[in-house]
């Protein structure tokens, strides 16, 4: 039981920072791969917004409405970042919930 408790705690401790910072440097990675700056700026804004939409209290909604309407690269980057990071954040939260449920189930098994 103590091993299970330790494992669940480690999952949370190790996984959460990864997902909190999941998209923070993605714009830099995309810039290094040759994506246009407008796309990467849109991606970073969309990523923050996507995590916020998925329930992150550490991220804020960010969208430059004028650029979103007028700049195709920013628009596409924002949409891609929003969708990807929202999905990643939701999956991380589901994984934490599954770990907690397993712990509760195993706690009462013995």
The predicted-structure confidence for 8-42, as pLDDT tens digits, reads as follows 555 555 555 555 555 446 888 999 999 999 999 99
Q: What is the mean pLDDT of the chain?
A: 81
Report the C-alpha gap between 69 and 84 in whole angstroms: 20
Contact between 3 and 37 (Cβ < 8 Å): no
Mean pLDDT of 76-102: 88
Mean pLDDT of 85-107: 78
Asked if the model's pLDDT at residue 52 lies above 90, the reply is yes
Asked if the model's pLDDT at residue 92 lies above 60, the reply is yes
pTM to 2 decimal places: 0.69
The count of other CB atoms within 10 Å of the CB of residue 101 is 11
Residues ≥6 apart with Cβ < 8 Å to 29: none
Q: At which residue do the structure tokens 């509760």 appear?
A: 104
């Amino acid at each position: 039981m103590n091993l299970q408790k330790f494992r669940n705690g480690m999952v949370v401790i190790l996984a959460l920072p990864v997902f909190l910072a999941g998209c923070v440097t993605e714009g830099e990675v995309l810039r290094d791969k040759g994506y246009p700056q407008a796309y990467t700026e849109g991606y970073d804004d969309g990523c923050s917004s996507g995590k916020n939409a998925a329930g992150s209290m550490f991220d804020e909604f960010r969208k430059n409405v004028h650029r979103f309407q007028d700049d195709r690269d920013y628009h596409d980057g924002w949409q891609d970042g929003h969708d990807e990071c929202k999905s990643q954040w939701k999956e991380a939260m589901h994984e934490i919930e599954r770990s907690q449920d397993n712990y509760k189930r195993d706690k009462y098994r013995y």
